[in-house]
């Protein structure tokens, strides 16, 4: 038996403690999450429970004149019996999920003020009360009370079947016939029905299996189920039935065969029948054969073994989550930063990857854990992911290459499938590394990381909501590393149950309760009442072997050397692009220098905009010098010292506020140098040209986006700047957190500016600079900015030329200067 885990609860429940310095921040984030609708729902049930939550608004449409019969639980959220019963009711909802078109489950919280009138209308006195509403009930019907109802799932299920059979007229249209069949009916069956399979469940009169299986399959086409009593002598002798219950498949022409199952029980019949050839869920396209897939999908179909785990899926999931999903956050701060740190830490610790990938995860992890700031920019994180420091043997392969997670359509499976697989593998790794880990293991570590990753980053917000609803149980239910493995498996099955038949279900990969009896016969058994039961011990050993690192297949993986080569090429081209940009910028600067200097001696006012404070001449001069010096330093430093566009902010973060080749000077100086790329924008005046330049920049951005696709993140130099401000002045954490809820970039930028305002040493000049920078860099890359600069310089040179031209002409003509 496994050891109990230490420091577990604190780690999982109190995420605050993992990050003590930021308690205030985390606390406010925690509040933020509590305010989200999914974090706290008042009643005993949530939208994830497959139970219709009744409200005064929907009660009529659900109960009156409905085509399905409905069972309603009237409860009070404070009542102890109701709380105890809610688990049973939830299990029931999952158990009879497939009956939905014929029978729905609903619940209403009578303790909620707004529901009082509804409960009063149905004369509810005690809690919980369960009522059965027939299909097509009238508005004045108050339902049939199920007095003394059983408190277990199978008892309730049987009671519901009894109630369904009381429909005298107005039989729910979706509900198949439930009465026993006869030889005569079976003989005529194929004359009137075109289904392929007729399943006959032979049973005794008091058995419910036949009816349950019938209802379990009501959403499936090409199969019909009838119950046959053991007293139906003709059929029993014709098929030679000796065992009750047993199930036979009967075909047109009188052929029949026994359905082979591990146990003669409802669940085994139902799942076997649902997977018969030709049987499909209504409304779903039939499964496509692999041949068709091979010919039709854009990417070549990669044949794979369905009972194996592929490293290609895990790496693809990593790529997608880190380069696409996390990239949606230009700045990662607060709870998100905590989530990212936990996620990366768990990956670095447990991901059973190739050496190159592990090297990368470890370097990202040690970098990330060293980040002391409140926030990091995605850019800086991305630079680490892309190994911009070019460490040896370190890379995370780019791109998606799904194998076991391939879908029959491009929108099916893939990433979410990869994510599930990844976390199963991680929980299993954590368990198998238990013996080597001397310290008291934190058994909730992986699940906690998964939970916070899903909450902070998982793109499917609805999934995150459902997952969060479940994840709250981790605290009480997981106390060992193996219970973490089991917990994730069982919750994944809950999700499978909920999603069976949903739009996201791939017809080729139907959602089943996993592993199927074919995959793991030993995992399944039946209880004395005939209900299905998992043998958890067997499931655990199955999971430990299925997801174990030495069984992961490496088919279709890109070669390590290839991965490294690609990374190097990408790095080089990025480097080249950067250098080209530098050269252009330098040329522009030189050109503008030669234009500006004669002008500076004359008048400085002409280039000032209405809104801007006039700039001091000496400041402008200093600036030029600094710019030149920086450019010169770049030359000397050469290639190696030059960070990549992505690497740049990272360098700033890692090495602190001072870049090695910069002249350390007064604070004001530093600020100017940092913005070296955008230095000329300060005196950027002409509205017309500004608009034009922005337009061009924007259109080039669009082009860039379409070319580079989603993976490419948006570099925003302003964040590097912001970070530098923070670290440089030790202002981290000084920012009051009243602005917790701001999510959008604009708001964050405002906050960064606010911080700038705090640093009064910078004075107004800096602030208006910051404003400009913020306005101009929203959504633009450095390339855009430099385009702006070029355009601006060109246009101002043009203006200048015109100005000089006219000046000299007027001077010649009239002998005196005229100001424009």
Ligand X SMILES: Cc1cc2nc3c(=O)[nH]c(=O)nc-3n(C[C@H](O)[C@H](O)[C@H](O)COP(=O)(O)OP(=O)(O)OC[C@H]3O[C@@H](n4cnc5c(N)ncnc54)[C@H](O)[C@@H]3O)c2cc1C
Interacting residues with ligand X (CB under 6 A): 405, 413, 416-417, 419-421, 424, 454, 460, 462-463, 466-467, 489, 492-493, 495-496, 499, 502, 504, 506, 509, 514
462 vs 625, which CB is nearer to ligand X? 462
209 vs 417, which CB is nearer to ligand X? 417
Task: Dig out the tokens for 582 from the structure.
Answer: 């530098």
Residue 481 near which of ligand NAG, ligand X, none (CB within 5-8 Å, type-dependent): none
Q: Peptide bond before 100: cis, by omega within 30 degrees of 0? A: no
**From 288-296, 387-395, 663-671, 801-809, span contacting ligand NAG (CB under 6 A):** 288-296
133 vs 378, which CB is nearer to ligand NAG? 133
Task: Dig out the tokens for 30 from the structure.
Answer: 């925690």
CA–CA separation, 243 and 201 (whole Å): 11
Is 82 annotated as catalytic?
yes
Residue 575 near which of ligand X, ligand NAG, none (CB within 5-8 Å, type-dependent): none
- Burial per residue of 322-334, b for 16 or more beta-carbon CB atoms within 10 angstroms, e otherwise: bbbbbbebbbbbb
184 vs 292, which CB is nearer to ligand NAG? 292
The count of C-alpha atoms lying within 13 angstroms of the C-alpha of 269, restricted to the half-sphere facing its C-beta, is 32
CA distances from 314 to 223, 324, 418, 506 (A): 38, 15, 6, 20
64 vs 276, which CB is nearer to ligand NAG? 64
197 vs 424, which CB is nearer to ligand X? 424
Residue 421 near which of ligand NAG, ligand X, none (CB within 5-8 Å, type-dependent): ligand X
CA–CA separation, 221 and 281 (whole Å): 6
Options 5, 82, 247, 417, the catalytic residue: 82
519 in contact with ligand NAG (CB under 6 A): no
Minimum distance from residue 506 beta carbon to ligand X (Å): 5
User: Total residues at the site for ligand NAG (CB under 6 A)?
Assistant: 7
Residue 649 exposed, middle or buried by CB count within 10 Å (0-12, 13-18, 19+): buried
Pair 478, 374: CB distance under 8 Å: no
With residue 759 as reference, give the H or E element that holds it.
Answer: none
Residue 804 near which of ligand NAG, ligand X, none (CB within 5-8 Å, type-dependent): none
Q: Which of 549, 490, 481, 486 is nearest to 308 (CA)?
A: 549
305 in contact with ligand NAG (CB under 6 A): yes
Among 57, 140, 191, 291, which residue sits at the site for ligand NAG (rule: CB under 6 A)? 291
140 in contact with ligand NAG (CB under 6 A): no
463 vs 696, which CB is nearer to ligand X? 463
Minimum distance from residue 164 beta carbon to ligand NAG (Å): 18
Minimum distance from residue 561 beta carbon to ligand X (Å): 30
213 vs 454, which CB is nearer to ligand X? 454
Q: Which of 192, 195, 172, 194 is nearest to 184 (CA)?
A: 192
Minimum distance from residue 542 beta carbon to ligand NAG (Å): 11
The count of C-alpha atoms lying within 13 angstroms of the C-alpha of 376, restricted to the half-sphere facing its C-beta, is 30
User: Beta strand 280-281 with 220-221: parallel, antiparallel or unpaired?
Assistant: antiparallel
Q: Which of 89, 70, 92 is nearest to 128 (CA)?
A: 89
CA–CA separation, 279 and 507 (whole Å): 11
CA–CA separation, 160 and 132 (whole Å): 8
Residue 749 near which of ligand X, ligand NAG, none (CB within 5-8 Å, type-dependent): none
Residue 699 exposed, middle or buried by CB count within 10 Å (0-12, 13-18, 19+): exposed
User: Beta strand 197-203 with 246-250: parallel, antiparallel or unpaired?
Assistant: antiparallel
Residue 597 near which of ligand X, ligand NAG, none (CB within 5-8 Å, type-dependent): none
Among 237, 295, 665, 687, which residue sits at the site for ligand NAG (rule: CB under 6 A)? 295
Among 120, 252, 292, 734, which residue sits at the site for ligand NAG (rule: CB under 6 A)? 292
Among 307, 369, 472, 695, which residue sits at the site for ligand NAG (rule: CB under 6 A)? 307
Phi-psi sector, 281: left (phi>0), alpha (psi -120 to 50), beta: beta
Residue 284: count other Cβ atoms within 10 Å of its Cβ. Answer: 16
286 vs 763, which CB is nearer to ligand X? 286
Residue 419 near which of ligand X, ligand NAG, none (CB within 5-8 Å, type-dependent): ligand X
Minimum distance from residue 463 beta carbon to ligand X (Å): 3
CA–CA separation, 179 and 528 (whole Å): 25
Minimum distance from residue 545 beta carbon to ligand X (Å): 12
CA distances from 332 to 344, 378, 443, 581 (A): 14, 7, 27, 28
Contacts of 806 (CB under 8 A, 6+ apart): 820
Minimum distance from residue 332 beta carbon to ligand X (Å): 20
**From 287-295, 331-339, 565-573, 779-787, span contacting ligand NAG (CB under 6 A):** 287-295
Residue 699 near which of ligand NAG, ligand X, none (CB within 5-8 Å, type-dependent): none
Residue 292 near which of ligand NAG, ligand X, none (CB within 5-8 Å, type-dependent): ligand NAG
Minimum distance from residue 307 beta carbon to ligand NAG (Å): 5
CA–CA separation, 730 and 732 (whole Å): 6
Options 5, 31, 79, 798, the catalytic residue: 79
639 in contact with ligand NAG (CB under 6 A): no
Residue 201 exposed, middle or buried by CB count within 10 Å (0-12, 13-18, 19+): buried
Residue 426: count other Cβ atoms within 10 Å of its Cβ. Answer: 26
Residue 431 near which of ligand NAG, ligand X, none (CB within 5-8 Å, type-dependent): none
Residue 529 near which of ligand NAG, ligand X, none (CB within 5-8 Å, type-dependent): none
139 vs 502, which CB is nearer to ligand X? 502
**From 25-33, 301-309, 323-331, 614-622, span contacting ligand NAG (CB under 6 A):** 301-309
168 vs 528, which CB is nearer to ligand NAG? 168
Q: Peptide bond before 547: cis, by omega within 30 degrees of 0? A: no
Query: Alpha carbon 493 to chain centroid distance?
Result: 18
**From 104-112, 302-310, 482-490, 678-686, span contacting ligand NAG (CB under 6 A):** 302-310
Beta strands in 597-684 (DSSP E): none
Minimum distance from residue 351 beta carbon to ligand X (Å): 16
Minimum distance from residue 452 beta carbon to ligand NAG (Å): 34
For ligand NAG, the binding residues in 62-91 under the rule CB under 6 A are 65
User: Would you please indicate which residues are annotated as catalytic (active-site) residues?
Assistant: 79, 82
Q: What is the binding site for ligand NAG (CB under 6 A)? A: 65, 291-292, 295, 305, 307-308
């Amino acid at each position: 038996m496994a050891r109990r885990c230490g420091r577990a609860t604190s780690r999982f429940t109190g995420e605050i403690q993992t990050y003590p310095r930021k308690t205030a921040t985390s606390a406010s984030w925690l509040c933020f999450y509590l305010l989200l609708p999914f974090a706290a729902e008042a009643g005993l049930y949530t939208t994830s429970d497959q139970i219709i939550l009744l409200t005064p608004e929907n009660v009529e449409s659900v109960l009156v004149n409905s085509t399905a019969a409905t069972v309603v639980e009237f409860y009070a959220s404070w009542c102890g019996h109701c709380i105890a019963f809610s688990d049973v009711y939830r299990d029931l909802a999952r158990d009879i999920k497939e009956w939905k078109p014929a029978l729905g489950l609903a619940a209403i919280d009578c303790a909620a003020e707004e529901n009082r009138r509804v409960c009063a209308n149905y004369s509810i006195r005690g809690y919980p009360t369960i009522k059965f509403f027939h299909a097509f009930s009238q508005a004045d019907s108050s339902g049939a009370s199920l007095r003394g109802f059983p408190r277990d799932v199978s008892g309730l299920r049987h009671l519901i079947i009894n109630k369904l059979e009381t429909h005298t007229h107005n039989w729910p249209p979706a509900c198949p016939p439930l009465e026993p069949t006869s030889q005569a009916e079976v003989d005529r069956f194929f004359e009137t029905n075109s289904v392929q399979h007729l399943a006959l469940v032979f049973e005794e009169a008091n058995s419910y299996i036949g009816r349950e299986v019938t209802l379990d399959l009501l959403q499936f086409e090409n199969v019909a189920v009838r119950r046959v009593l053991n007293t139906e002598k003709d059929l029993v002798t014709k098929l030679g039935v000796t065992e009750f219950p047993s199930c036979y498949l009967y075909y047109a022409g009188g052929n029949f065969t026994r359905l082979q199952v591990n146990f003669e029980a409802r669940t085994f019949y139902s799942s076997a029948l649902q997977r018969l050839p030709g049987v499909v869920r209504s409304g779903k396209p039939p499964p496509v054969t692999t041949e068709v897939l091979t010919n039709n999908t854009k990417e070549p179909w990669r044949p794979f073994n369905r009972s194996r785990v592929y490293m290609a899926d895990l790496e693809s999931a990593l790529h997608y989550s880190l380069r696409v999903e996390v990239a949606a956050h230009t700045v990662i701060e607060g709870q998100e930063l905590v989530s990212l740190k936990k996620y990366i830490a768990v990956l670095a610790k447990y991901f059973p990857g190739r050496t190159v990938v592990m090297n990368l995860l470890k370097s990202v992890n040690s970098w990330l854990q060293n980040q002391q700031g409140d926030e990091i920019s995605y850019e800086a994180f991305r630079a680490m992911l892309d190994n911009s420091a070019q460490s040896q043997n370190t890379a995370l392969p780019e791109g998606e290459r799904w194998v076991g997670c391939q879908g029959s359509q491009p929108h099916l499976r893939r990433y979410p499938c990869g994510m599930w697989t990844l976390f199963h593998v991680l929980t299993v790794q954590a368990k198998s590394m238990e013996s080597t880990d001397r310290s008291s293991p934190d058994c909730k570590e992986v699940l906690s990381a998964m939970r916070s990753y899903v909450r902070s980053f998982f793109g499917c917000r609805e999934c995150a909501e459902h997952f969060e609803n479940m994840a709250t149980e981790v605290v009480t239910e997981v106390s060992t590393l193996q219970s973490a493995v089991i917990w994730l498996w069982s919750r994944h099955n809950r999700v499978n149950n909920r999603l069976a038949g949903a739009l996201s279900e791939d017809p080729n990969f139907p959602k089943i309760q996993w592993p199927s009896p074919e995959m793991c016969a030993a995992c399944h058994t039946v209880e004395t009442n005939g209900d299905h039961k998992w043998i958890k011990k067997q499931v655990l050993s199955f999971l430990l072997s299925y997801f174990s690192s030495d069984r992961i297949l490496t088919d279709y993986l890109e070669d390590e050397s290839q991965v490294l080569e690609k990374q190097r090429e990408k790095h080089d081209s990025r480097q080249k692009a950067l250098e080209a940009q530098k050269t252009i910028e330098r040329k522009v600067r030189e050109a503008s220098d030669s234009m500006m200097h004669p002008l500076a001696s004359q008048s400085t006012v002409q280039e000032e905009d209405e809104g801007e404070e006039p700039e001091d001449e000496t400041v402008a001069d200093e600036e030029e010098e600094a710019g030149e010096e920086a450019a010169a330093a770049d030359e000397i430093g050469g290639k190696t010292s030059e960070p990549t566009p992505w690497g740049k902010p990272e360098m700033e973060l890692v090495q602190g506020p001072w870049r090695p080749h910069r002249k350390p000077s007064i604070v004001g100086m530093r600020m100017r140098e940092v913005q070296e790329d955008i230095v000329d924008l300060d005196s950027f005046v002409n509205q017309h040209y500004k608009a034009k330049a922005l337009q061009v920049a924007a259109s080039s951005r669009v082009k860039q986006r379409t070319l580079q696709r989603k993976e490419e993140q948006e570099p925003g130099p302003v964040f590097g700047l912001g970070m530098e401000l923070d670290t440089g002045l030790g202002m981290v954490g000084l920012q009051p957190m009243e602005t917790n809820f701001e999510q959008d970039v604009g708001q964050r930028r405002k906050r960064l500016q606010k911080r700038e305002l705090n640093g009064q040493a910078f004075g107004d000049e800096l602030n208006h600079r910051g404003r400009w920078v913020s306005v101009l860099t929203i959504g633009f890359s450095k390339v855009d900015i430099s385009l702006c600069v070029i355009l601006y310089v060109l246009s101002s040179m043009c203006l200048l030329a015109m100005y000089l031209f006219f000046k000299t002409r007027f001077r010649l003509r009239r002998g005196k200067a005229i100001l424009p």
